[in-house]
Amino acid sequence: MIDRPDHEQQQTAHMPADTNGSTWTHTAPVYSEHFNWNDAGERIAIQQVADEVRDTRILDVGVGAGRTSWLVGLLTHDYVGIDYAPAMVEAARKNCPWADIQLGDARALTFADDSFDMIFFSNAGIDSLNHDDRSRALDEFARVLRPGGRLIYSTLNRCGPFYGAHAGPTHAPGKLPTPYRAVRFAARAALRPGEHLAGFRNVHHNSAVFEDHGDWAIDTMPTHSWSLIVHYITPDAARTEVADHGFDSATVLDFDGQLLDDASLVARSPWFYVLARRHSDSGVQPA
Ligand X SMILES: C[S@@+](CC[C@H](N)C(=O)[O-])C[C@H]1O[C@@H](n2cnc3c(N)ncnc32)[C@H](O)[C@@H]1O
**Does 140 sit near ligand X (CB under 6 A)?**
no
Closest CA to 75 of 99, 110, 106: 99
Segment interacting with ligand X, rule: CB under 6 A, options 100-108, 185-193, 257-265, 279-287:
100-108
The correct pick among 67, 134, 196, 245 for binding ligand X (CB under 6 A) is 67
Segment interacting with ligand X, rule: CB under 6 A, options 78-86, 171-179, 206-214, 242-250:
78-86
Kindly give, in sequence order, each residue whose CB lies less than 8 Å from that of residue 153, ignoring residues fewer than 6 positions away: 119, 120, 121, 122, 125, 126, 273, 274
**Does 234 sit near ligand X (CB under 6 A)?**
no
- Identify which of residues 223 and 279 has a Cβ nearer to ligand X in the complex: 223
Segment interacting with ligand X, rule: CB under 6 A, options 72-80, 83-91, 176-184, 187-195:
83-91
- Identify which of residues 31 and 279 has a Cβ nearer to ligand X in the complex: 31
The correct pick among 125, 168, 169, 270 for binding ligand X (CB under 6 A) is 125
CB of 240 vs ligand X, minimal distance in Å: 22
- Identify which of residues 24 and 272 has a Cβ nearer to ligand X in the complex: 24
**Does 120 sit near ligand X (CB under 6 A)?**
no
Contact 271, 160 (CB under 8 A): yes
Segment interacting with ligand X, rule: CB under 6 A, options 124-132, 172-180, 242-250, 274-282:
124-132
CB-CB neighbours of 125 under 10 Å:
24
The correct pick among 58, 88, 242, 276 for binding ligand X (CB under 6 A) is 88
Kindly give, in sequence order, each residue whose CB lies less than 8 Å from that of residue 192, ignoring residues fewer than 6 positions away: 169
Contact mark string toward ligand X, 31..60, x via CB under 6 A: x-----------------------------
**C-alpha–C-alpha distance, residues 190 and 180, integer Å:** 15
- Identify which of residues 206 and 279 has a Cβ nearer to ligand X in the complex: 206
The correct pick among 41, 59, 107, 144 for binding ligand X (CB under 6 A) is 107
CB of 123 vs ligand X, minimal distance in Å: 3
**Does 270 sit near ligand X (CB under 6 A)?**
no
| Residue whose C-beta lies closest to ligand X | 64
- Identify which of residues 80 and 279 has a Cβ nearer to ligand X in the complex: 80
Bridge-based pairing state of the strands 58-61 and 100-103: unpaired
